[in-house]
Chain A
Amino acid sequence: MSTTTLERMPAAEPGAEAGPSYLTSEHTVTSWLFTRDHKRIALLFFASITFFFFIGGFAATLIRLNLATPEGLLQPAVYNRMFTMHGVIMVWFFLIPSIPTTFGNFFVPLMIGARDLAFPRLNLGSWYVFNLSGLVVLYSLVMGGADTGWTFYTPLSTSYANGYVFAAAMAVFINGFSSIMTSLNFIVTIHCMRAPGMTWMRLPLFVWGIYAVSVVMLTATPVLAMDTFLLAVERLMGIGLFDPNHGGDPLLWQHMFWFYSHPAVYIMILPAMGVVSEIIPCYARRPIFGYAGMTMALMAIAILSFFVWAHHMFVAGISVYAGVVFSLMTFFVAVPSAIKVFNWTVSLHKGRISFDAPMLYALSFVLLFTLGGVTGLMLATLGIDVDVHGTYFVVAHFHYIMVGATVSAFFGALHYWWPKLTGRLYPEIWARFAAILTYVGFNLTFFPQFILGYLGMPRRSYTYPAEWEPWNLLSSAGASILAVAYLLPLFYLGWSLFWGRKASANPWRATGLEWATSSPPPKHNFERTPTVTLAPYCYDPQRDTYVTQEGVPHAG
């Protein structure tokens, strides 16, 4: 968007200028730490998850530095703890909360025309519980870390591991409560607090994404809570629930763990899909292709995700028949994801496409998600999984989805909604550069790992035979580029907070209700409750006009 377009923008929406913004309405520390405002809570969460992203990222840096050469850098014990804590922190302290607690918290009430979530104190409570779990995981890390892999397989984790397994398991247990509190809040809010005229089939796809993820979080997390609780009991007291020496079954742990952790990976992708469905229509200036299909795909993924868990156990000793059933189910859950990819791609057809940073991140998401997805199909194929399970192939696959796709969507959301969050515009050139650098760095880091996996390099290894060094070195080099790409936004987004151009209410000319209030919004979101008359994404690329969800038309 050029500066001249900005100056030609119509005046901000009526009533939206009244009152100070949520950022400036109160200044004391207590007004932040005891806030009930979902927007401030979103920023509090943002601070927490960013902190953990850098801790997890630091662990990743050590891992890739170590793997650049076979001789390595770290003692084996340290390396083993680094990859475990990288997994634990990135999964539970960054990826799972990332989009829901930040953009979900901030934008779900705005997008449905509400003044806040249903239970604001529960929302704040969720942040405190998250931080409590964060303190416990930091304790575990500082004391040396757990050394079992983030999957805590027994009997290694219960009877043999030397690290701080109990603390790490307890951190995950407490963290689960934060997830449950947040998801409960979203479900009730979306059911009960939509503005007049905001029917289910007029909800923006981001809200659908948050709804789907909340359903999964609510139903899967309690199982994890029970698992980690029983693991902690076993570790502490030496009971034999999962230990064959005491009559227990190690596979029972795996089944229970994956019953949660497979839906967990969908928890990590569903909100990201929602974000991409917001960005693509806005920058292609046309409605999303197949809105109803997209909502059904989200819900289908959410439900089917509960029926595939044992695809993590094809070689673990389950019966051949069980393997066959779970493989079939896994192929079924891949179908709605494929539908979404096709719909996103075709949503570019006959659009009027611009390539601002959010769009670059969104397109990057589609490509990286598709590559991750096809390799997921390979893992679902039983004959192939027998070969590549437990190797770097799997590591590459899940990083393509969780990092390539989800983190790209996170950055896309950050840039797309930056004006609304902060009232400032970010510098476009730097943002596009960071987006492209991310894509390049990411592929350089993780594509070689597919090759290493098929060659047979096991995962969770601090060293490897010398002949595999070229690919590992390439991967580590790519990681250094990726690190720069992830750090860049810190600088130019930080700069924009003080010196960025001030943003109008709707700098991207988007149709959602969140753009019908000022940038940044006032404390209670809307001075008057909006009335919705239209489905989302009413962009007309032919005439380059758009109509907001309240039915207000805008010329090009």
Chain B
Amino acid sequence: MPASATLRPEIQFATLEQQGDAAQLGMWVFLVNETLFFGALIFTYFIYRISYPHEFAVAAKDAVLWCGSVNLAILLTSSLTMVLAINAGAQGERRAMKRWLLVTVALGCAFLLIKGFEYYQDFQDRVVPVVNFATKPGEGNAGELFWVFYWVATGLHAIHLTIGIGLVLYMLWRIRRGEITPAYYAPLEVVGIYWSFVDTVWLFLYPCIYLVGRS
């Protein structure tokens, strides 16, 4: 592991602290943007769900509940491991930090694997709108709308999660180069905030997709 030279802020910042603050504010501001992006989608979902409650309930029966639930547990745990990694980083415990980050990556990948399996299952169940869709009785047109929402929402979420995994791997690389120290670990915090957001989105998507009509 190369000994890091004293880390200097980028030219536009006066101190590392200012750089770190700017990075964190930037991520929070970005998440406001993301909230509105997913929010618009969830809003559209609710417009149609309120108009066609019965059809949505029928359509949602084909959602693979165990996949969604296990994935929820995985993501919640991964947020925990992420926070543990950041804590370790703040304390200077490099080994623990790297370990927790690797666990986070592993959990993220597990999510994607289960999602991939679920997509395969969905294909078998013929719930892919236009491409491979069979309307069940009682669903009408609105059932297909439910599944459009499902594929768009989970697809976008999976893309965001993949980017998150990439960011964590990038953090591991920066740690190797000695750029993350207890004096300056803002990049890690920023990735952590992003990761928690991806987790939160799933928290909202889960009841929309898997708990319709199952109360």
**Chain A residues at the B interface, C-beta cutoff of 8 Å:** 109, 114-120, 180, 184-185, 187-189, 191-193, 218-223, 225-227, 229-230, 233, 237-241, 246-249, 252, 256, 524, 529
Q: Could you say which residues of chain A place their CB within 8 Å of the CB of B14?
A: 529
Distance to closest chain B CB from A114 (angstroms):
6
Contact between B44 and A247, CB atoms less than 8 A apart: no
Q: Could you say which residues of chain A place their CB within 8 Å of the CB of B134?
A: none
When A226-B37, A227-B40, A240-B141 are in contact, do A192 and B22 touch as well, CB less than 8 Å? yes
**Residue in A114, A223, A226, A227 whose Cβ sees the most chain B Cβ within 10 Å:** A226
Q: Could you say which residues of chain A place their CB within 8 Å of the CB of B144?
A: 239-240, 246
Q: Could you say which residues of chain A place their CB within 8 Å of the CB of B140?
A: 247
Q: Could you say which residues of chain A place their CB within 8 Å of the CB of B129?
A: 237, 239
Q: Is the interface of A mostly helix, strand, loop or mixed?
A: helix
Contact between B26 and A246, CB atoms less than 8 A apart: no
Contact between B34 and A222, CB atoms less than 8 A apart: yes
26 A–B contacts from the bound complex (CB under 8 Å): A109-B12, A115-B12, A180-B30, A180-B33, A184-B33, A187-B29, A188-B22, A188-B29, A192-B21, A193-B13, A193-B22, A219-B36, A221-B33, A222-B36, A222-B37, A222-B40, A223-B40, A225-B37, A226-B37, A246-B141, A247-B140, A247-B141, A247-B142, A247-B145, A252-B47, A256-B40
Question: How far, in angstroms, from A256 to B46 measured CA to CA in the complex?
Answer: 13
B130 contacts chain A at the CB level, 8 A cutoff: yes
Q: Could you say which residues of chain A place their CB within 8 Å of the CB of B70?
A: none
Q: Could you say which residues of chain B place their CB within 8 Å of the CB of A118?
A: 12, 22, 26
Distance to closest chain B CB from A190 (angstroms):
10
When A218-B33, A222-B37, A247-B140 are in contact, do A239 and B145 touch as well, CB less than 8 Å? yes
* B103-148 residues at the A interface, CB under 8 angstroms: 129-131, 140-142, 144-145, 148
Contact between B11 and A119, CB atoms less than 8 A apart: no
Q: Could you say which residues of chain B place their CB within 8 Å of the CB of A237?
A: 129-131
Distance to closest chain A CB from B209 (angstroms):
17
The 9 closest A-B pairs by CB, nearest first: A247-B141, A222-B37, A116-B12, A226-B40, A222-B36, A192-B22, A237-B130, A223-B40, A118-B22
Q: Could you say which residues of chain A place their CB within 8 Å of the CB of B159?
A: none
Contact between A193 and B141, CB atoms less than 8 A apart: no
Question: How far, in angstroms, from A192 to B19 measured CA to CA in the complex?
Answer: 9
Contact between A223 and B12, CB atoms less than 8 A apart: no
B7 contacts chain A at the CB level, 8 A cutoff: no
Contact between B148 and A233, CB atoms less than 8 A apart: yes
Question: How far, in angstroms, from A188 to B13 measured CA to CA in the complex?
Answer: 12
Q: Could you say which residues of chain A place their CB within 8 Å of the CB of B33?
A: 180, 184, 218-219, 221-222
